[in-house]
Amino acid sequence: MRTIRLLVEYDGSAFCGFQRQTNQRTVQGAIEAALTRMTGEVIAIVGAGRTDTGVHAAGQVISFVTSSAVPVERFVVGVTGLVGADLTVQRAQEVPATFHARYSAQWREYRYRLLVRPQPSALRRMSAYWPGHLRLDVPAMQEVWPFFQGRHDFSVWENQNSVSEDPVCQVHEARMVAVGDEWHLTLRADRFLYRMVRNLVGTLVMVGRGQLDVGMVRGLLSGESARDYIVAAPAHGLCFEAVGYDVPWDGAPD
């Protein structure tokens, strides 16, 4: 038996999320169907992260086990060709049997694209979120975003319909960088709660609109304030950028 990992990117608007669903086109379902066809085996994959409908990926990692003799490099072209242009495999590698795309991950990184200009973009309507005509208070947003770096209880920013046993996450980096007429909001953490990133971005947009102030965000972070007014930012602005492992792709430290 061999354990294989793939580096995958996809356009999230073409899929009903990552996780397999009956009668829905999903990332997991599409990749498993392609691998099953290539190997002649029923293949089950594991993903580093389960992205929602509309969320994109530039660095999703999946792993699977196979007894087939298909050369590892053929999975790059083979899966891409069978799934279609909205999902491509960038790299394939045989890894130790102990490797697990989800549980072996040391960190994950997400990036949210916020379009800040007077008018929306027709070309980026499915890849960047335009929050409207109102001018955002960017300095206030720049002050707040680094608050989320560090080890915190993020239960306030978890989806209301899901409750984690452990809501504490270690955010290694919280960056806010201007790229043309966009602000790129990046978070790198050991783990993320369900919809945590989109809820954090939604909070930041509320700060930019003057609906929340710095003190209110500190209150949310300390658990002193209720989360009833937090609205998640849309899925299409979010991209799963990268995953870190102690098993490198090229023999160099990850």
The dihedrals phi and psi of 110, each to the nearest 5 degrees, come to: -120, 150
Same domain (yes/no): 92, 173: no
The pLDDT tens digits for 36-65 are 999 999 999 999 999 999 999 999 999 999
Q: Are residues 231 and 127 part of one domain?
A: yes
pLDDT, residue 11, reads: 98
pLDDT of residue 225: 66
Q: Domain range for residue 192?
A: 107-241
Q: Are residues 160 and 178 in the same domain?
A: yes
Q: Could you tell me the pLDDT band of residue 253, with boundaries at 50, 70 and 90?
A: very low
Mean pLDDT of 80-106: 97
The answer to the question of residue 250 being in a domain is no
Q: What is the C-alpha separation between 156 and 35, in angstroms, rounded?
A: 39
The question of whether 52 is a catalytic residue gets the answer yes
End-of-domain residue from the set 70, 104, 138: 104
Kindly name the residue from 11, 52, 86, 190 that is annotated as catalytic.
52
Query: Would you call 82 helix, strand, or coil by DSSP?
Result: helix
How much is the pLDDT for 252? 44
Same-domain pairing of 162 and 73 = no
Output the domain CATH number for residue 206. 3.30.70.660
Domain boundary among 104, 128, 161: 104
Instruction: With beta carbons less than 8 A apart as the criterion, state whether 68 and 25 touch.
Output: no
Query: Which whole number is the average pLDDT over 199-208?
Result: 96
Q: What is the pLDDT of residue 249?
A: 85
Residue 249 lies in a domain: no
pLDDT higher than threshold 80 for residue 111? yes
pTM of the full structure? 0.94
Residues 6+ apart with CB under 8 A from 25: 14, 15, 16
